[in-house]
Structure 1
Amino acid sequence: MGTRSRANYLAAGAADVAVELKDAGLLEAVRNQWQNAVTRRTYITGGQGSRHQDEAFGGDWVLPPDRAYSETCAGIGSVMVAWRLLLADGDPRCADLIERTLFNVVATSPAADGRSFFYANTLHRRELGTSPDTDRPSLRAAASQRAPWFEVSCCPTNVARTLASLTAYVATSDDEGLQLHQYMPGTVEHRRADGRHLCVTVATDYPRDGEIRVRIDSDDEDPWSLSLRVPGWATRGATLTVDGDTRPVAPGVVTERRSWRRGDEVVLSLPMAPRFTYPDSRIDAVRGCVAVERGPLVLALESTDVPGVETVDELHIDASRPPRLTDGRVTVRCRRGRPDDGDWPYRTDPRESAPVLAAEPDEVPLVEYHAWANRGPSTMRVWLPTLREIKEEAP
C-alpha cells in the first residue's frame, strides 16, 4: 500500500484524535492538508496521485492523465478523510468529493462481473493492451486491463469493506434533525435522545436521473430540520419543491424546518444535462482539452465505440457544440485527425503543426468512466483535445 493511501489513513486518524481531544489546531491542520490535496493534487475523477515511484502524490498541478496512478486504495482513504471532516464541521464540499470518488474511482476498480479489478485507474490509455494472464499476478502499474489478481491485492478487500459500509455515508443527525449527504433509494431512521422518532424514505434513480424524492414517514408535532446537499456541480437549474412550492437552490446545503407530517414530501431536482468541464490552466498536461461530465459521473471516449479507430488519440472534439444526451447515451461531435509525419516534429508555421482533419465530423458516444474496459482491450481518454482553428494568413 503506497504513500498516498497511508497519508490519507494517517489524516483520518488525526481527524479522529482532533475531534476526540477537541484539538482545534490539529483539526485545522488536517483540513488545510485536505484542501491542498483536493485543489491541487486530485484528478477530475477524485483519484489522487501521479507518481508511480513510491505511489507518492507528486507536486501541485502535476496531474498527467496518461500517467495517473490514482490507485483505488488512495481513493478510499480520501473518502475516509472527507467523511471525518464532514462530521466535524458539515462542509458539503467533503460530501461532494465523497460522491465523486465513489462513482469514479471506487466504482471503476471492479469489473462488471466482479471477477477482476484495477489497482491503478488511469485517465488515458494510449495502447490497446492485452488481456491479463489469469494464472499469475499482474503488475500493478503495467496492467492495461482489469486483472483477477495483482502482486499487491489490497484493493478487493478495501473495495468490499467500503461497499459494505456505504450506508454509513448517506446521512447524519443532530439535535436539529436529519441531514442527507448521498442519494440512493432507502429509508433513514433516527431515534433522538428524547425518544422522538424521525424517519424518511428516499426514492430516486440518481445518478441516472436527477430527481430525489424524500417522503416523511414519521409524525412529530415539534418542528425539526431536514437538510439536503446540493452538489457543487449543480450550479444552474437545481430546484427544491415543498408542498407544491418550487424554488431555485444553489450548491451547498438547503434546509427545511417545520412540523412535518407523515406523507409530506420534499423533491430535490438536479440538472442532469451533460456538460463540458475545463481544467485549471496550471495543469500543463491537459491544457487545450475538455472533459465531459453528467451529474457526478465523469465520461470517457473509448475506442470500442468508434469503429475504424484503433486509438482515440486520433479524435478532436468540437467544443463549440455542447454534449447531448440521446437515447441514454451522451454524445459529442468529433473530427478525426492526424499530424503529417516529417523529419522533425516541430514547426515554425502553426498550420504545419495542426493535425490534418477529416472533412466531416462524427457524432461519437461516450461511456461512463467507471464502465470502461469491460468490452475487451481498448484505448480511452477522459480529457479530449479541442479543435484548433488555424488561420490561413501567416502569423
Structure 2
Amino acid sequence: MTEPTRSAGPVAPTARAVAALHPLPADAVQLSPTGLLGGWQARNAAATLPHCVDNLDTAGNLANLRRVVGDGPTAFAGMWFADTDVYKTLEAAAWELGRTGTLSPRLSGFLADTASLLEKAQDPDGYLDSYYQSDHRDRQWTELHFSHEMYCAGHLIQAAVAAARAPGTDAAAVQQLVGVARRFADLLVRRYGPDGTAAICGHPEIETALVELYRLTGHEPYLDLAARFVDRRGHGLIEPDKLGPRYYQDHQPVRTADEVTGHVVRQLYLLAGAVDVAVETHDSELLTAAERLWDSALGSKTYLTGGQGSRHRDESFGDPYELPPDRAYAETCAAIGSFQWAWRLLLATGRARYADEMERLLHNGIAGSTGVDGTSFFYSNPLQLRTGHDGSHEDAPSQRLGWYSCACCPPNLARLMASLHAYLATGDQSGLQLHLYATGTFGPVEVSTRYPWDEQITISLTEDAATPWTLALRVPSWCADARLTVNGEPDATAAEDGYLRLTRAWRTGDQVVLTLAMPPRLVRPHPRIDAVRGTAALTRGPLVYCLEHADVSLPGVVLEDLALDPGRPIEVVHREDALAPVTLLAPVVARPAEAAPLYRTGPRDEPPATTAGTVTAIPYFLWANRAPGPMRVWIPTAAPEA
C-alpha cells in the first residue's frame, strides 16, 4: 500500500490505466453543508450513518458475526448475506472519518471494534461468511449461484479499501481490516485463479472490489482474477434454475452482449467492474461493450428519474420501453449502481453524457430514496402511487420505512453520501473539470451556488498559477442557454463536447460566473412507452417534479382526476420557508370521475371538466415527506379525445 492512495476516493485508477480523467484527491474537495449536496452529506453523518450502526445491532447483523466466535445468539438473524450490511456501513464510517479528518469516537470505535471482530471470526484460510461459518460449513462454495459468498467478500474488500484511503481512520484498525480483506482475496485467488476452479458468483460485485484492492496494493493477481470473473460470464457456469441465466448475468459474454437484461443490480455491478478491468488492462473491446450496453439501458430501459428496473418479480430490467410508472421497481441500490457505473465511464472516456446521467440519478432516483429525516428510506422508487394504494407490505409501501428485512439500501446510501465529494470533479495535467455543481472547495477553486434551485454558479480562484491551465465546466444536456462571465465581463466561449473550457494563467480572486438557464419544461414520453402514452412530466433544470396529494385542494377531486393543460404556462415559485425552495404551479383541469362507468363507449360518458386551476408540483425527491398518499410524475394531458 502506497501513501498517495491515503486520500483517494472509492475509484482510483492507477497511473498506468487508460483513463481520460482522474478523480481529485478526496481531501481536495470539501462540500459546504449550506448547499444541497453538502447538506445531504451532513444529514448522512448526523442521522443516516448512526441509524445504520444502530440497526446492525438491533437487526442482528453484528450478532451473527459474534456468533461465529462463540459470543452470539443461538440462531442466525436476517438474510444469508447480512454481513454485507456491516461492510457497507464500515465503508461509510471510513469515508466519513476521512471526510471530516477527525476521529469521531463513535465511528472510530465502531470501525476498530468491527475490524477486531472480523479478524477473530475469519477462518485460518481466509474464509469469512457468518451464515456459512455458523450452520452451513458443509455448503461452503457449493451453491455459488445464490450464496453471495463472493458478493460479501467484495463489500468487505471495499470497506477495507475505504479505511486505507481515508486519512481520518485509525492506523491499527486499517491494518487489521486490510489484512482480513487480503486474506479473503488471496483465498479467492487460490480457489478461482488460473490454477483453481472456473466459477463465478451469482451476484456480481467482487469484480470491481478486486480491481480496487489491486489499485491499493499493486498486487497483480487481484486484477487478473477480476478480469477472469468478467470473462467467465455467459458460459453456463451457473446451473440453470427457475430464475434463468439472465437473472445471474450468465446468459451471454459481456463482450458480445448488446442488451442490458436480468437482475438490474447484478447487471450494473458487473458492468462497473468491467469498466474497471478495461481501463487497467487497456482492453478497448471490453470498454466498447460497456458503452454499447449503456446505450441499451439509456435508450429504452431507464425511467425519467434515472431509475432502472420495471419488474418486481425478479428485480429486473423489462423489455424495451416497458416502463410502467406505478409498477416501477427502480431499486435504490440499482440507482446507486448506475451512478457508480456512470462515474467509471466518465473517468474512462471523459464524455459529458455520463456526468449528465450522474446528475439526473443523484437529484432524482437516488435523492428520492431518503426522507428529509435521514432515517427513512424507499427500497423501490415508483413514479406513481395510486389513491387507495395498499402500502401495508414493505415490498410496496406508501411511505419510507426505517429498515427492511433485506436492508441493502440504507447502508448503500450511507456509503455513497459519505463519499459523495469524491464523485464531483476531476483533474489532470490540463487543469480542473467540474462535472457536478455544489457549494464547496474543489482544489484551487471555491464554488458558491444554490444549484439546482438557482441558475447561477460562481467559481472563485484561490491560487495563483505560474502557467495557464484549463477550467472545464459541464453544460448539462437539458440546458439550451448557458452564459459565462469572467471577472464581470461576458465571455463568448462555446461549449465543446458538453463542456465550456477556459484556459488562462489564473490568479487568486479571478471569478467565473456560469448561468445555466432552467425554465420549467414539459417532457413527453417516447410513443412506445404504452404505460404513459398521452401524458407529460414537469421538469426544471436537473429536477423531475411530481404532483402529490397534499397539494390537491380542489373539492371532490383526487389526484387521478387531474390533467395538465399544455396551453397555459407553468409558473416557477420560490418559497424559502417551504419543503421545497422552488416549486412549480402546474396548470390543470379536473374531471371528477368517481361516478363514471368503468368502461364507456363514447365522449358523452366522459366526466365534465371543472374550472381550470393550478396545483403545486414539488421535486420528485421530496415526495412522501408529508402524510402518506398518492403521487404521480407522468400526468395526463388535457387533449380532446378522438
TM-score (normalizing by structure 1): 0.90
- Where do 5+ consecutive residues of structure 2 fail to align? 1-202, 204-246, 248-262, 576-582
Aligned to 1:234: 479
Any idea what the Cα deviations from partners look like across 1:115-173, whole Å, max 9, x if unmatched? 211100010100355776xxxxx522x21111122221111000000101111111001
Residue 72, structure 1, aligned to residue 332, structure 2: yes
Give me the whole-angstrom Cα distance separating, in 1, the residues matched to 2:594 and 2:381.
32
Give me the whole-angstrom Cα distance separating, in 2, the residues matched to 1:75 and 1:331.
28
Q: 1:338 to 1:176 in 2, by over 3 A?
A: same
The structure 2 residue matched to 1:361, chosen from 612, 616, 627, is 612
Aligned to 1:211: 456
TM-superposed CA distance for 1:255, in Å, is 0.4
Residue 165, structure 1, aligned to residue 165, structure 2: no
> What secondary structure, in the 3-state scheme, does the structure 1 residue paired with 2:477 have?
coil
TM-superposed CA distance for 1:315, in Å, is 0.3
Residue 319, structure 1, aligned to residue 566, structure 2: yes
Q: 1:80 to 1:178 in 2, by over 3 A?
A: same
Q: Which has the higher strand share?
A: 1
The structure 1 residue matched to 2:631, chosen from 363, 367, 380, is 380
> What secondary structure, in the 3-state scheme, does the structure 1 residue paired with 2:369 have?
coil
> What secondary structure, in the 3-state scheme, does the structure 1 residue paired with 2:326 have?
helix
Amino acid at match of 1:325: V
Residue 139, structure 1, aligned to residue 394, structure 2: yes
Q: Is the 8 A contact 2:456 2:514 kept in 1?
A: yes
Q: 1:264 to 1:130 in 2, by over 3 A?
A: same
Amino acid at match of 1:155: C
Give me the whole-angstrom Cα distance separating, in 1, the residues matched to 2:557 and 2:400.
20
Q: Is the 8 A contact 1:223 1:258 kept in 2?
A: yes
Any idea what the Cα deviations from partners look like across 1:306-343, whole Å, max 9, x if unmatched? 12466311101101123111344210111111458576
Give me the whole-angstrom Cα distance separating, in 2, the residues matched to 1:163 and 1:295.
22
Give me the whole-angstrom Cα distance separating, in 1, the residues matched to 2:412 and 2:594.
47
Aligned to 1:221: 466
Aligned to 2:347: 87
Give me the whole-angstrom Cα distance separating, in 2, the residues matched to 1:111 and 1:21.
41
Give me the whole-angstrom Cα distance separating, in 1, the residues matched to 2:594 and 2:618.
30
Aligned to 2:549: 303
The structure 1 residue matched to 2:509, chosen from 263, 268, 271, is 263
> What secondary structure, in the 3-state scheme, does the structure 2 residue paired with 1:80 have?
helix
The structure 2 residue matched to 1:49, chosen from 305, 309, 313, is 309
TM-superposed CA distance for 1:285, in Å, is 1.1
Aligned pairs (5 A) from 1:195-210: 199-210=444-455
Amino acid at match of 1:284: D
Aligned to 2:402: 148
Aligned to 1:196: none
Aligned to 1:331: 585
> What secondary structure, in the 3-state scheme, does the structure 1 residue paired with 2:414 have?
helix
Give me the whole-angstrom Cα distance separating, in 2, the residues matched to 1:220 and 1:302.
51
TM-superposed CA distance for 1:219, in Å, is 0.7
Q: Is the 8 A contact 1:126 1:311 kept in 2?
A: no
TM-superposed CA distance for 1:254, in Å, is 0.9
Aligned pairs (5 A) from 1:6-21: 6-21=266-281
> What secondary structure, in the 3-state scheme, does the structure 2 residue paired with 1:107 have?
helix
> What secondary structure, in the 3-state scheme, does the structure 2 residue paired with 1:228 have?
strand
Give me the whole-angstrom Cα distance separating, in 2, the residues matched to 1:161 and 1:27.
26
Q: 1:333 to 1:154 in 2, by over 3 A?
A: same
Give me the whole-angstrom Cα distance separating, in 1, the residues matched to 2:448 and 2:634.
33
Q: 1:344 to 1:369 in 2, by over 3 A?
A: closer
> What secondary structure, in the 3-state scheme, does the structure 2 residue paired with 1:73 have?
helix
Q: Is the 8 A contact 1:289 1:386 kept in 2?
A: yes
> What secondary structure, in the 3-state scheme, does the structure 2 residue paired with 1:366 have?
strand
TM-superposed CA distance for 1:354, in Å, is 4.2
Amino acid at match of 1:257: T
Amino acid at match of 2:520: P
Q: Is the 8 A contact 2:493 2:500 kept in 1?
A: no
> What secondary structure, in the 3-state scheme, does the structure 2 residue paired with 1:299 have?
strand
TM-superposed CA distance for 1:355, in Å, is 4.0
Q: 1:187 to 1:210 in 2, by over 3 A?
A: same
Give me the whole-angstrom Cα distance separating, in 1, the residues matched to 2:390 and 2:399.
7
TM-superposed CA distance for 1:272, in Å, is 2.2
Q: Is the 8 A contact 1:238 1:249 kept in 2?
A: no
> What secondary structure, in the 3-state scheme, does the structure 2 residue paired with 1:239 have?
strand
TM-score (normalizing by structure 2): 0.56
Q: How many residue pairs align between the two structures? A: 372
Amino acid at match of 1:364: V
Q: 1:152 to 1:260 in 2, by over 3 A?
A: same
Q: 1:38 to 1:160 in 2, by over 3 A?
A: same
Give me the whole-angstrom Cα distance separating, in 2, the residues matched to 1:258 and 1:353.
68
Give me the whole-angstrom Cα distance separating, in 1, the residues matched to 2:302 and 2:627.
28
Aligned to 1:35: 295
Give me the whole-angstrom Cα distance separating, in 2, the residues matched to 1:71 and 1:309.
34
Q: Is the 8 A contact 2:557 2:592 kept in 1?
A: no
The structure 2 residue matched to 1:282, chosen from 524, 528, 535, is 528
Q: Is the 8 A contact 2:535 2:634 kept in 1?
A: yes
Give me the whole-angstrom Cα distance separating, in 2, the residues matched to 1:111 and 1:129.
20
For the pair shown, which has the larger CA radius of gyration, 1 or 2?
A: 2
Amino acid at match of 1:369: Y
Residue 185, structure 1, aligned to residue 431, structure 2: no
> What secondary structure, in the 3-state scheme, does the structure 2 residue paired with 1:266 have?
strand
Amino acid at match of 1:241: T
Give me the whole-angstrom Cα distance separating, in 2, the residues matched to 1:343 and 1:314.
14
Q: Is the 8 A contact 1:50 1:62 kept in 2?
A: yes
Aligned to 1:389: 640
> What secondary structure, in the 3-state scheme, does the structure 2 residue paired with 1:20 have?
helix
Amino acid at match of 2:394: L
Q: 1:108 to 1:35 in 2, by over 3 A?
A: same
Give me the whole-angstrom Cα distance separating, in 2, the residues matched to 1:297 and 1:13.
29
Give me the whole-angstrom Cα distance separating, in 1, the residues matched to 2:598 and 2:430.
68
Give me the whole-angstrom Cα distance separating, in 1, the residues matched to 2:546 and 2:597.
33
Any idea what the Cα deviations from partners look like across 1:330-363, whole Å, max 9, x if unmatched? 101111114585767142x3x23644211x1111
